[in-house]
Chains A and B, each alone.
Chain A
Amino acid sequence: MNHLHPSALRTVATKVLHRLRPVVSGRGVAPTR
């Protein structure tokens, strides 16, 4: 089993959030839900 260091987990989360925020707020993409 592999795990990431806590700081790497936070960095991954930050990068994912950067892509996710427009989708969650309904800006920039055209989500149908």
Chain B
Amino acid sequence: MRAVTSAFATNLRRTAEIALPCLATVLVALGVAWWFRAPLVDKATMANKVDRVVLPALEKWATDPTPAAVRGVFFGDSLTMSLTSIGQGGSKHGVPVIVEKALRDAGTEIDLLALTHAAFRPLHLAYLLDDVLAGRPRFVVVELNLRLIRPTREALSGALRFLPLSRRLPLRRQLEMAPFLREEGIGTLHPGVYRVQEALSLLYVMDGIRIAGNDWMSAQSSRVERAFGLARRDNWLPSLEGNDDRGASASRLADGPPALILQLLDRELAAAGVWTLYYVSPVNPDALAAAGVTDTAAFAARVEELRTAAGVPPERWLDLHAMRRRARSSTG
């Protein structure tokens, strides 16, 4: 008995000798990351308009309603925005601002939230739906960009997938959306881990470490390259023109995640008593033709199939994809 106890104690000691330094290393790393969390998060979210602008605006709108005003939400991507206004350094303006102004001019007290980002897709509204419903809107307008509604994996970079936004998904909706989330690169654990990271103020800290490390390596590489007289292009920027018209227009939208996500959104919004309008943004016919889409009637039929599959009645659906026939309709 004594021999067994002694062997157990020896094994325990040996395990502790290995495990404790490992645990201590992890704790020190986490401690250092936590200590420097503010500059690291700043570095990682410097260009993150979703966390810096969109989410604070959503939270403010949800918790601070304008008294006696009709509340609404306008969800969409860059096709809702004014390039002219953005080009002049102003805000994104566009359709929500025109709609809000017209309603105000007609004497309606309106409290409209423009929940827009250049790369938002209906999936992202599903992430934020609880936050939207917390603001008790009377109506929601959802813009659909056919070029981005079902992007290929190559078409969107990781940053434009907004993976950390999945932390806003409640477990019930996460389970319901599991097949589409996997297609997006979100596994079962992602939303929960992002929630824990946020609770510990560590969300984006790992991204900050990666970016800081990459910046350091880039700076050192530049020094070495300069020392050896090697040419270097530091002004390279990744193009955001990654939309895949061929992929988007060739796919049967009704069979895939877009229809099911719209169906889920519409069901939950209707259950909460929210009137929801979906509109398909105009598509540049030249871009479609360049992608090999010449049968416009078949394309229109695919859009109609999407509406039917999503279960949205015609009176709450506006198909404007063929609104303009010439290239001036869209610069995309």
Contacts and interface: CB of A to CB of B under 8 A. Distances in A.
Contact of A13 (B78, B102, B106, B284): B102
Contacts of A19: 277, 315-316, 318
A3 B116 CA distance: 13
Contact of B275 (A1, A4, A9, A29): A29
Contact of B331 (A2, A12, A20, A33): A2
Contacts, number: 110
A7 B95 CA distance: 11
B289 interface: no
Given A15-B320, A20-B141, A31-B139, A5 B329 contact: yes
Contacts of A7: 328
Interface string A1-33: 111111111111101110111011100010111
B118 interface: yes
Contacts of B106: 21
Given A12-B323, A23-B139, A33 B71 contact: yes
Contacts of B273: 31-33
B152 interface: no
Interface stretch (B80-88, B173-181, B196-204): B80-88
B291 to A, nearest CB: 13
Contacts of B330: 2-5, 8
B138 to A, nearest CB: 4
Contacts of A4: 79, 83, 94, 281-282, 329-331
B71 A1 contact: no
Contacts of A1: 78, 118-119, 240-241, 332
A32 B274 CA distance: 7
Nearest to B242: A1
A13 B138 contact: no
A21 B273 CA distance: 17
Nearest to A33: B138
Given A33-B136, A33-B274, A16 B318 contact: yes
B243 A24 contact: no
B82 A6 contact: yes
Contacts of A2: 77-79, 145, 147, 243, 284, 330-332
A1 to B, nearest CB: 5
A19 B74 CA distance: 14
Contacts of B211: none
A11 to B, nearest CB: 6
A12 B83 contact: no
Interface in B64-105: 70-72, 77-84, 94-95, 98-99, 102-103
B191 interface: no
B277 A12 contact: no
A3 B115 CA distance: 17
Given A33-B71, A33-B136, 12 more contacts: A1-B240, A2-B145, A2-B147, A3-B83, A5-B330, A5-B331, A6-B82, A8-B328, A9-B98, A13-B98, A16-B99, A31-B273
Interface of B: 70-72, 77-84, 94-95, 98-99, 102-103, 106, 108, 110, 118-119, 136-139, 141, 145, 147, 240-241, 243, 273-275, 277, 279, 281-282, 284, 315-316, 318, 320, 323-324, 328-332
4 tightest A-B contacts by CB?
A2-B332, A32-B273, A13-B98, A3-B83
